[in-house]
Amino acid sequence: MLDPRVLRNDPEAVARQLARRGFVFDADAYRDLDTRRKTLQTRAEELQAERNQRSKSIGKAKAAGEDIEPLKAAVAGLGEQLEAAKAELEAVQAEQDAVREGLPNLPDPAMPEGHDEADNVVLREVGDRPHLDFEIKDHVAIGEHLAGLDGAAGAKITGARFTVLSGAVARLHRALITYMIDAHVDVGYTELNVPYIVNADSLYGTGQLPKFGDDLFRLTEPADYYLIPTAEVPVTNMVRDEIVAPERLPLRYVAHTPCFRAEAGAAGRDVRGMIRQHQFEKVELINIAHPDESDACHEAMVARAEAVLAGLGLAYRVVDLCGGDIGFAAARTYDLEVWLPSQNTYREISSISNTRDFQARRMGARYRDPESGKPRLLHTLNGSGVAAGRALVAVLENYQQADGTVRVPDVLVPYMGGLEVIAAPG
């Protein structure tokens, strides 16, 4: 959520910044709304003061033996006016809150200009793409040949965009997850195991609610419980309504969870295979940082995700997202895109964002400034380190061999019980 003081003092500047994201903010309408709020607030305060004064007069008149009925009638009338003014003020404040809740984060000044993903800026390409001198298969064909990927079973059990993994392919998926967690824990991240169900307050805190409710899976009972769309939600909300000691910063967490997304806005996209599923798994990185350290934390998180892909021997690129492609809560986002031979292109496998104080303001997440002793808003950052399903897709495709087998990346062999090549059973 944006700082209300910034909105109040210079809504035009906010409108100019949000325009870089392709978001239209009506500064004049917001200023008019705020003027109404101020007028109503002043009116309510004046009525309250007058009511208090007249109430005191009743006591004095009563002590003097005077007729107090006219005074009581006047106070009652003021009470009715006060309640009406308060109700109107609350309605305007609710309207303001609704506007604020729908505003995305202000973009970083260094964020690239652009309207959509075509305008994203490639910062670097790393690694060698495999030279496959045979007919390239996609991960679905490979997985089915290995009897390890079954979309039909997933559809029968649940519906479209669900997949059953089995055998060595399921173990490869698990190996990827364990390898990634170990890699992050080994450099100081604290591993967490968190709930997969969260309440509405948690989703509000990280910005999924109220704007993106259609993309969530909601439980019918209790009605304000939801399946998590990412570990970002439960992990980041650990500091909701907390004041963190500055010497503990940055907090660096890693969590492996399933993720559940309705993908309401993705109809028709990536319907084949595991690229876009309703249920998938990620290894998520979260940093809770001092504002002065958040940019450095952002770069370090990108480096962590890069280390995972480099360790797997996968070619990838790092992309700086433009205003038209950046997420709602993010001020700056770097995507990591891995090479997929079957598509002859790079596809996103990690998105790492600095939300600055946007989420912290919604959550009331703060640290205590050692100089002033006052609470200040934290900065929160999140990113995949990396998406397990897409990592599986990338390994299957990049390590496929002409005979239909898949070579296991060297770093995963110990996690596979020494298995170096996955072959079709029988």
Residue numbers in the known binding site for L-serine are 230-232, 261, 284, 382, 384
d(CA 47, CA 77): 10
Mapping DSSP to helix (H, G, I), strand (E, B) and coil, where does residue 226 land? Answer: strand
Q: Which of 294, 342, 351, 353 is catalytic?
A: 351
240 catalytic per annotation: no
Q: Which of 55, 348, 376, 407 is catalytic?
A: 348
Distance between start and end Cα atoms, the chain? 57
How many CB atoms within 10 Å of residue 121?
13
> CA 182, 186, 187: angle at the middle one, nearest 5?
130
The strand pair at 251-260 and 190-192 is best described as parallel
d(CA 302, CA 352): 7
d(CA 339, CA 394): 7
Mapping DSSP to helix (H, G, I), strand (E, B) and coil, where does residue 359 land? Answer: helix
- Percent composition of the chain: helix, strand, coil (DSSP 3-state, to 5): 45, 20, 35
At 98, which amino acid appears? A
Q: Which of 252, 261, 304, 332 is catalytic?
A: 261
Q: How many CA atoms lie within 13 A of 66 on its CB side?
A: 11
Which residue ranges are tagged as binding site?
Answer: 230-232, 261-263, 284, 348-351, 382, 384
Q: For residue 160, with 0-12 CB atoms within 10 Å meaning exposed, 13-18 middle and 19 or more buried, which class applies?
A: exposed
261 catalytic per annotation: yes
Distance of CA 59 to the CA centre of its chain: 57
d(CA 12, CA 29): 11
Check: CB of residue 228 under 8 Å from CB of residue 256: no
d(CA 420, CA 309): 19
Query: In the block, which residue shows the tokens 């006219």?
Result: 70
Which residue ranges are tagged as binding site for ATP?
Answer: 261-263, 348-351
368 catalytic per annotation: no
Written as six digits, the tokens of 264 are 């309401």
Residues designated catalytic: 261, 276, 348, 351, 390
